[in-house]
Structure 1
Amino acid sequence: MSIATHRQRSVFSKNIATFRQDPMLLFTLLIVGFLLVVFILFPLFKVLTLSVTGSGTFSLSEFRYIFEQWWLRQTFFNSMLLGVITATTSTIIGYIFAYAFARTSMRGRWFFRPLAMLPLVSPPFMFTLSVILLLGRNGLITRYLLGLRGFNIYGLKGLVLVQTIGMFPIAFMNLEGVLQSIGTDLEEAALDLGASRLAVFRNIVLPLSIPGITSSWLLIFVTSLADFANPLVLGGRFDVLSVQAYLQFTGMFNAPRGAALAVLLLFPSLIAFTLQRYLISRRSYVTVTGKPGHMRLRFVSRWLEWCLFAICLMVTGIILLFYLTVIAGAFVKKWGIDWSLSLEHWHYTWDVAFRSFAQTLQLAGIATPISALLGMLIAFLLVRKSFVGKSALGFTSMLSYAVPGTVVGIGYILAFNQPPLLLTGTGLILIICFVFRFMPVSVETGVSQLVQIDRSIEEASTNLGASTAYTFRSITMPLIKPAFIAGLSFAFTRCMTAISAIIFLVSGRWHHVTVLILSQTEIMNLGAASVISLVLVIVVLTGFGLIRLAVGDKNRRLSV
């Protein structure tokens, strides 16, 4: 006991000495910690509290009611089912793409990669719009090409389709890095010893890929659970937790039940996200061979390479078809009724959407740099500084990425609707939501970049008398510019295309373009929704170019 007490005192004394030597570090930690508690933990606490105190006293009656009513109970199982199916199909397709890029000399990479990544910068409804226009009750394929009258794309099958196409790039990016990290020497040795290519894949590549596959599956599972836009429009009678929580909270004005449903959505997401982070922290693909490795691309037979090519072509063909459908929908006068070309939807959109676009760009323009800079600052603290509570800071800063947007939106409404933090109805609450919702990616990219940079450069600055603030501004930030650009790009994309949280926070004074797309889709004004979606994609891609131009990045390769 005395040894443990002595160690605790030693650590405490060391931290006190560090803070005395660098008071700016203490001040920064206090400010960052305060912001994380107020804008991440406090909203979650309000949701949890309301779910068990809706009647004024502590009670689990809302949870009991949810599991007693089959239609509410079913939303939980529907969410789990959709998440499992989507995560499985997306991970399989993502692994096929990753293997084709990392282990073959497949032709057409210049075509497949940008199309495969395009869903990441698209509005949440874009593929749903395409599916309705192509496969809906009045769809071009179902009704006019196949003559199907009773076909119904709404429900589980439609959701699996749009979520898989929209989420498999997450697995692709993750698993391509995993496969590239696995040394090829073992595969080459096995091939030289007479093993078949299938045996090499089954006994070497696949086992080494399992942690990455599991991590990708869990990440997509969390993303599927958090998806709000697609189930709201395409779910039909297939209710899920994210949508039902929104309907209970805003449509039926039953805040305690909406909070309880949000809590049921929160816990599976947190468990899956925690497992995913644990797998990443333990993942290692190092092969020690004593000689430099090299990549030999003939790990698959010619016929298998053509099979991989065909699968990539089919998936990217579907993506391209979806985008072409939205473009066509923007110019067709009345889809399924009047196929003549018209600019009517563009004129209507100019009148209706101009203010929403202007305000969305204004909000994104403010929130994007703040989110990226705050993420870089937290990454710097986590990697370069030692202090009490570092693990808690790291966990809290990443927590908002695991929390579904529906939970965040409900939490912000509950937390900031009364003094001294009366923010509801203002643009500030949207900016704050954007900053802390999308900051974790900047933290993650910043940490990944910093661990690869020798800290002696920054230590030299400190030894020469520079403060932490000066070192971070003048030494660290220029070295982690690629991570900063990635954080800016991600934050800008999500600020422009998010909906699950901000649909609770928009007001008559402050609009968002994705909420406008939703409203146009709900009234089946699909032409206007197509125009807005198309313009939004163009704006996001233009924003990428401007970000790289402003920050001074000369690398033209798009990273999302």
Structure 2
Amino acid sequence: MQRTILFWLAAGWVSVLLLPWHMGGGMPALWQGIMDGRPWLLPLALPLLAAAGGLAGRGAAGPTQARWLTAAGAGGLAWTVLQGFAIAQPGFGPGAAVYAIACVGLGAQGLAMRGWCKGDAFIVAAIGLVLGSIALFVGFPVVKILLSALYDGGGQLSLSGLAARLTDESVWGVGCVTGSGSVCGVAWNTLALAAVVATLTTGTGLAFALIAVRTGFRFKAGLRLVSILPVITPPFVIGLAIILLFGRAGVVTELMTTLFGLPRSRWIYGLPGVAMAQVLAFTPIAFLVLVGVLQGVSPTLEEASQTLRAKPWVTFRTVTLPLIRPGLANAFLISFIESLADFGNPLVLGGNFEVLSTKIFFAVVGAAHDQGKAAALAIILLSFTLSAFLAQRLWLGRRSYTTVSGKGDAGLPSPLPRAVTAVAATVAVAWTALTVLVYGTILAGGFVKSLGRDNTPTLLHYQTAFGIESGPNGWWFSGSAWDSLFTTLGVSLAAMPLTAALGLLTAYLLVRQRFAGRGAFEFLTMLSFAIPGTVIGVSYILAFNAPPIELTGTGLILIIAFVFRNMPVGIRAGIATLSQIDKSLDEASLTLGARSFTTLRRVILPLLRPAIVTAMVYSFVRAITSVSAVIFLVTAKYNLATAYIVGRTEVGEYGLAIAYSSVLIVIMVLALLAIQALVGERRLGRRQTAAAPARTPATKVNA
């Protein structure tokens, strides 16, 4: 522990003596305080001196040192925040960031010495770092934009205006039910869509997971590949493909009209079309969550049910389904929140069917530009998310779902009931057929001049976007899409490990640790996932466009936005998987003298490989395909692929947009295969089904 304290002290002194305190370079904090007339930076040395004095005093490793360390950490953080917000100066730089982390480390050591979290400094520091980062990059921006709901268009405080926005007829109207109007309020539309999509998505994801884990299907690798295709595609591209297929002039519509004389209609614009696109887009998330949970179900429990002469359907209903309840709940919650926050598909296919996300989008970027209205609608959306979160907690209750323990498991998975296998196969085949049709349209669109109008084959779209030419100085990338592609890959690769690490660490703290405010902490982690990306983007501009935290216009703000926007999926996948792992594994490691960090690294992480794959895959592909969260944060220097595609779509260059999307799909498929190979699969030491022994001819024995 003393070495750890010395490490944090050294980091603190380096931050104030050697590292630039402000953005854009400059002198360290203490040098600025002495030489540049900024005396408010000099007190930053006092907490470090106090911690050093406590370490060197007679009360080392005792209550006195614990009090000094706790006070040093809290005091250093408090003064950093106070002087940063109260005094006009440039934004925080690397020196301030390292100093804040060092203060958290020192404070954690002090709290651990005082008995917090059973004296485990790693757990205390992890809680502090996770909570601080979420409060800074989720809570602070959300509070900034929600406070704007209290003000009217003229910037005046108006509580009556907030009440009017929250109770507006366009939000809560039920005219479509009572007959007094043709449409329902946008809130009811949003809830109905989310419920339908979450139910269909969870069921479809479960069907794919059952086929992948519990059947002898030969082409499981191909099934997994097809099942994750929609998640690696920008959502509005799926919507565009659906329009090209099922719109009034779509390929399927033309075929049905020609063959069966069916009249053309606009049925695809509204709830059916948006639900179809979202189910295609979000089913892979449910599949990734459920496949790891299904792998963790103990076959011994199913064998016990069969030993008691239970039929396969009874075993599946009373043993298998209850044990995967955490996975079902998390898959439903993620799909529900994804549907609430999605705006790309409703924007393309919504028609007159408005949802909260599109209404917020137009309130922010529309001609009226009513930021207060957007914030009020975001409050309603948050209330829906909180309700879904609480409903999930009530459904799971306090039951135990542990199926992975330290004991060996020699059981074999129970065969699925025939009816379940048939239903799962039917759902998977229908979903796969529609997916193949949609992606065939997407891939074909890049190789013709104008899909549906001029189907002349051409490579012009790919040459325009990804052309490579030679000149006097050698070869160079002449395509207009190269810069955005390189930036997108760099930002995504940087965000991927950070997202997975932070998400799984948070899941570990939520499942394995008990501390005050854990429920509020868990909900706070879901905030950035629940709010539409457009609101997140605007809130980041409001929060980080001026000192003390000035990040807009940099690549760092893109990485931060991706990390905290996508982190909740890693958290939910980690919670679902950790719910199945017996705590006795942790206790055995700790009994043998290992610390919490060693236990996490050598015992828990190998069993979390399905969750690691889920977190890394999702964070990488969402960083590449995200639109709404970063559309306000990109710049000419840091332009992203999705912003480029949106720009091409707005000017009608659909072929170029689809060509770029197909290139992204290929890149992400290769990346997903590499992630799976790098992380691998967990091994639970279970007996595998043995091949039937070959029959040998009987040998006649003469008496």
CA contact (8 A) 1:259 1:410 kept: no
Structure 2: give runs of 5+ residues left out of the alignment.
1-109, 174-184, 404-408, 467-478, 684-703
CA contact (8 A) 2:402 2:582 kept: no
Q: Which residue of 2 aligns with 1:53?
A: 151
Distance 1:14 1:429, change over 3 A: closer
* Deviation larger for 167-176 or 445-454: 445-454
Displacement of 1:224:
0.9
Displacement of 1:331:
0.3
* Deviation larger for 175-184 or 491-500: 175-184
CA–CA distance in 1 between the matches of 2:424 and 2:571? 35
After TM superposition, the structure 1 = structure 2 runs for residues 139-150 of structure 1, keeping only pairs within 5 Å, are: 139-143=250-254, 146-147=257-258, 150=264
Distance 1:392 1:260, change over 3 A: closer
After TM superposition, the structure 1 = structure 2 runs for residues 442-457 of structure 1, keeping only pairs within 5 Å, are: 442-444=570-572, 448=577, 453-457=585-589
Q: Which residue of 1 aligns with 2:168?
A: 68
CA contact (8 A) 1:219 1:272 kept: no
Distance 1:120 1:283, change over 3 A: farther
CA–CA distance in 2 between the matches of 1:383 and 1:53? 40
Q: Which residue of 2 aligns with 1:184?
A: 302
Are 1:223 and 2:338 matched, yes or no? yes
Q: Secondary structure at 1:340's aligned position in 2?
A: strand
Q: Which residue of 2 aligns with 1:17?
A: 114
Q: Secondary structure at 1:419's aligned position in 2?
A: coil
After TM superposition, the structure 1 = structure 2 runs for residues 145-544 of structure 1, keeping only pairs within 5 Å, are: 146-147=257-258, 150-152=264-266, 153-175=268-290, 181=297, 183-185=301-303, 188=306, 192=309, 213=328, 216-251=331-366, 252-280=368-396, 282=398, 284=400, 293-297=411-415, 299-300=417-418, 305-306=421-422, 308-350=424-466, 351-379=479-507, 392-444=520-572, 448=577, 453-457=585-589, 471=598, 479=606, 482=609, 483-544=611-672
Higher helix share: 1
Q: Which residue of 2 aligns with 1:5?
A: none
CA contact (8 A) 1:15 1:388 kept: no
Q: Secondary structure at 2:631's aligned position in 1?
A: helix
CA contact (8 A) 2:446 2:659 kept: yes
* Deviation larger for 21-30 or 273-282: 21-30
> What whole-Å deviation, never above 9, does each CA across 1:218-260 have from its counterpart, x for those lacking one?
4322221111111112212222111110111122321111111
Q: Which residue of 1 aligns with 2:132?
A: 34
CA–CA distance in 1 between the matches of 2:516 and 2:119? 16
Q: Secondary structure at 1:339's aligned position in 2?
A: strand
Q: Which residue of 1 aligns with 2:94?
A: none
Amino acid at match of 2:340: L
TM-score normalized with structure 2 length: 0.66
Displacement of 1:109:
4.0
Structure 1: give runs of 5+ residues left out of the alignment.
1-12
CA–CA distance in 1 between the matches of 2:594 and 2:453? 70
Distance 1:451 1:344, change over 3 A: farther
CA–CA distance in 2 between the matches of 1:556 and 1:340? 49
Q: Which residue of 2 aligns with 1:10?
A: none
Higher CA-based Rg: 2
Q: Which residue of 1 aligns with 2:476?
A: none
> What whole-Å deviation, never above 9, does each CA across 1:102-129 have from its counterpart, x for those lacking one?
6655565444333123323332223213
Displacement of 1:155:
1.9
CA contact (8 A) 1:356 1:513 kept: yes
Q: Which residue of 2 aligns with 1:91?
A: 202
Amino acid at match of 2:568: P
Distance 1:358 1:314, change over 3 A: same
CA–CA distance in 2 between the matches of 1:115 and 1:134? 19
Q: Secondary structure at 2:235's aligned position in 1?
A: coil
Q: Select the structure with the greater relative contact order (CA < 8 A; seq sep ≥ 6).
A: 1
Superposition RMSD in Å: 4.0
CA contact (8 A) 1:262 1:406 kept: no
Q: Secondary structure at 1:422's aligned position in 2?
A: coil
Amino acid at match of 2:431: V
> What whole-Å deviation, never above 9, does each CA across 1:439-468 have from its counterpart, x for those lacking one?
2344455564586643544665667xxxx7
TM-score normalized with structure 1 length: 0.81
Displacement of 1:516:
2.5
CA contact (8 A) 2:197 2:339 kept: yes
Distance 1:548 1:129, change over 3 A: same
CA contact (8 A) 2:207 2:425 kept: no
CA–CA distance in 1 between the matches of 2:133 and 2:423? 51
Amino acid at match of 2:203: I
Aligned residues: 533
CA–CA distance in 1 between the matches of 2:672 and 2:499? 16
> What whole-Å deviation, never above 9, does each CA across 1:148-195 have from its counterpart, x for those lacking one?
6733222222111111222233444455566663743476367x47x6
Displacement of 1:342:
0.2
CA contact (8 A) 2:313 2:417 kept: no
